[in-house]
A and B are shown apart, each in its own frame.
Chain A
């Protein structure tokens, strides 16, 4: 079974700073997908960024980028020029290519951006 671990329960940075959220996972599969989801307070979970394991190039979406280290099974999220609206719970998630393609989530990191 796959597991996802986020070792930082909470993080806090000042607006405009860069912050990196950590995620490690365990799997015996070679092909899979990794995601970062954002869950703002009392709002719906939304996808931030997606990485396909067979792609060596790290995914980027505007101010969001990942550092995907397949051999180390590490998938960190970097947020550049952080904004107040980035305040949220961030979940790292793993998805297999086979079967139901359900998401396996980590425990989450609560990120607070301070003015």
Chain B
């Protein structure tokens, strides 16, 4: 079946612009995660949804970052007033449920803030 998809794959934003990044998880997957991966680093956790409920947003770096998953499927990560330090690859992952289930990753959105 289809894997996790993300759009756009690449986004260039001028400093101060708002951006919205979309994640389509694998159909039926309950859990959805957002990670931020800086160049040459490992991904870092941003936020977690179980269905439509955002249960953990402890990794969001500032109040400029906002995520939603209103119907428990597609999720959007929004960054307001982008800054240069927001430049990174944003990865989305989904898993069937809580527990030891594998997290399946999307291809990521590479955000460059100029």
Mark the stretch among A12-20, A39-47, A66-74 that contacts chain B: A39-47
Closest residue of A by beta carbon distance from B34: A102
**Is B25's CB within 8 Å of the partner chain A?**
no
Question: Scoring A residues 47 to 84 as 1 if CB is less than 8 Å from chain B, else 0, what string do you get?
Answer: 10010100000000000000000000000000000000
Task: Tell me the minimal C-beta distance from A102 to chain B in angstroms.
Answer: 4
Q: Which of B3, B56, B100 contacts A102 (CB 8 A)?
A: B56
**Is B107's CB within 8 Å of the partner chain A?**
yes
A-B contact pairs, 18 of them (CB 8 A): A33-B100, A37-B105, A44-B105, A45-B93, A47-B102, A50-B100, A52-B100, A91-B43, A93-B42, A100-B33, A100-B48, A101-B31, A103-B45, A103-B93, A105-B42, A107-B41, A108-B40, A108-B41
Closest 7 interchain pairs by CB? A105-B42, A100-B56, A100-B48, A102-B45, A45-B105, A47-B102, A44-B107
Chain B contacts to A: CB under 8 angstroms: 3-4, 31, 33, 35, 40-45, 48, 55-56, 59, 91, 93, 98-100, 102-103, 105-108
